[in-house]
């Protein structure tokens, strides 16, 4: 076992053998401080990062617009409660096939929906094999499913959550 025991004459302030205390007769020029370090084991903390807001992506990357049936309006064009199946949704008289209309113009093969009251975005795909675009019905059905999944998750977590939604 290694143990160190100081000699009786040891003093941290006494000069070591062969060294003298006092002013030196020569001076040394020290280099100016620099960020460049010759010793790779030396650590220099990184510069403080600039905190800037991250810009959000645009709502649409091209000239795609939503069908007016599904845009926000003070008087909704579709009467729909997301707690019920989309088959219960109703639209203005005179538009018999409104649910088969494309949800966007031009029609798109998928939509990513971000809703502030849902825990995560959801993606809408066409449900009909005959159509290669998302319809208003597809959008309503995906919205219904996303809200139902969120409420089931909230019930499992013992939360009280009731969505209110109309288009």
Write the DSSP string, 73-127.
-SS-SSB--TTS-GGG-B--TT-TTGGGSBSEES--S-EEE--TTSSS-EEE---
**For residue 127, what are the domain limits?**
65-156
Whether the model clears a pTM of 0.85, i.e. scores above it, the answer is no
| Structural domain contains residue 120 | yes
| Structural domain contains residue 162 | no
Q: How many domains does the chain have?
A: 1
| Structural domain contains residue 112 | yes
Between residues 2 and 29, which one has the greater pLDDT?
A: 29
Tokens linked to 43: 């650590």
| Structural domain contains residue 142 | yes
| Structural domain contains residue 111 | yes
pLDDT (tens digit, 9 = 90+) per residue, 121-145? Answer: 999 999 998 999 999 999 999 999 9
């Amino acid at each position: 076992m290694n143990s160190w025991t100081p000699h009786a004459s040891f003093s941290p302030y006494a000069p070591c053998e062969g060294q003298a205390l006092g002013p030196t007769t020569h001076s040394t020029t020290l280099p100016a401080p620099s960020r460049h370090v010759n010793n790779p084991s030396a650590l220099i903390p990184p510069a403080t990062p600039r905190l800037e807001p991250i810009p959000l992506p645009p709502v649409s990357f091209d000239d795609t617009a939503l069908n007016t049936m599904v845009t926000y309006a003070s008087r909704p064009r579709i009467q729909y409660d997301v707690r019920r199946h989309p088959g219960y949704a109703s639209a203005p008289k005179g538009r018999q096939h409104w649910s088969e209309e494309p949800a966007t113009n031009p029609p798109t093969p998928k939509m990513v929906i971000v809703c502030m009251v849902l825990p995560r975005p959801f993606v809408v795909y066409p449900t009909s094999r005959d159509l290669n675009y998302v319809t208003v019905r597809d959008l309503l059905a995906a919205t219904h499913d996303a809200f139902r999944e969120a409420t089931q998750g909230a019930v499992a977590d013992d939360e009280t959550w009731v969505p209110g939604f109309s288009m």
